[in-house]
Structure 1
Amino acid sequence: MIHSINKDITILKRKSSPANRQNQVTVQDLTETLEANREICAGMAANMIGINKRIIAIQMGPFSVPMINPIITKKEDMYQTQEGCLSLTGQRSTQRFKKISITYLDSQWQQHSQEFTDWTAQVIQHEIDHCNGILI
């Protein structure tokens, strides 16, 4: 189900709790909401649809890829950039890393460890910040 975008700062600033298999509907809803906003959004976290679980979804080419309980395990090459967010108005300055390694579960609850760079790494960092209650 496609959800409206949460703009309540109080909810967005709460640290998300780990997801489990009972949150499978949230994984699907988040992916569908991201796909519905693909023209204006590269990634979303579950708290952006009002659900306080550690789930993100990102656009990778034509695919919307959900990541459950993502954790950054390595960061390299910090830089300064500007970002926007569907839950907030305007652009803000933030620091990101050009290369990251993360562990996460996919929608079949299989564990992955993967490296990401550049734009994809930036989007993942933004969404993991959402999971940690950090806003740009």
Structure 2
Amino acid sequence: MIKEIVRDVFFLAQPSEPATKKDIQVGVDLQDTLRANSDRCVGMAANMIGVRKNIIIVTTKAGDIVMFNPVLLSKSGEYQTEEGCLSLDGVRPTTRYKHIEVEYFDLKWRKHRQKLHDFEAQIFLHEYDHLQGIVI
């Protein structure tokens, strides 16, 4: 189901909680909401649709990947950039990394380990910040 985008900075600044298998529908809602906003968005976190759970979706060359309880395992290649956010107005400076390795559970609750690079890594890191309550 397509959800309304949360723009409340106080809500967005609260850290999310671990997701469980009972939260699978939130991942589906993220897919639907991202598709509805694909002209201006390449990733989302569950708090952006009003759910404080550790769930994100990241657009990659292989397609959109829903990640439950993602963990950043490693990062390298620090650089400075500016980012916008569907939940916030304008753009803000931030530090990102060109190469990362992550671990997460998919929609079928299977564990994955994946390396992301360049813009895909940047998308992940932006959404991962949302889970920590970091509002850039």
Q: Aligning the two structures, in what range does the TM-score lie when normalised by the shorter sequence?
A: over 0.9
Distance 2:58 2:79 in 1: 21
Q: Give CA-to-partner distance per residue, 1:30-88, whole Å, 9 cap, x none.
A: 11101111110000000000000000001123722101100100010100000000000
* Structure 1 residue 58 corresponds to structure 2 residue 58: yes
Query: Which residue does 2:100 correspond to in 1?
Result: 100
Question: Who is 1:124 aligned against?
Answer: 124
Secondary structure, counterpart of 1:89 in structure 2: strand
**1:78-124: per-residue Cα shift (whole Å, max 9, x none)?**
00000000000001000000100000001110001111000000000
Match of 1:133 in 2: 133
Q: Which amino acid aligns with 2:30?
A: L
Give the TM-score of the pair, scaled to structure 1.
0.97
| Aligned equivalents of 2:115, 2:65: Cα separation in 1 | 15
**Cα distance between partner residues in 1 of 2:114 and 2:53:** 21
What does 1:4-83 align with in structure 2 at a 5 Å threshold? 4-61=4-61, 63-83=63-83
- Aligned length, in residue pairs: 136
CA contact (8 A) 1:5 1:48 kept: yes
Cα distance in structure 1, aligned partners of 2:7 and 2:71: 24
Amino acid corresponding to residue 126 of structure 1 in structure 2: H
- Structure 2 spans left out of the alignment, 5+ residues: none
Is residue 124 of structure 2 the alignment partner of residue 90 of structure 1?
Answer: no
List per-residue Cα deviations over 1:1-34 (Å, max 9, x = no partner). 0001000011100100000011011111011101
The answer to which of 73-82 and 52-61 deviates more is 52-61
Gaps of 5+ in 1: none
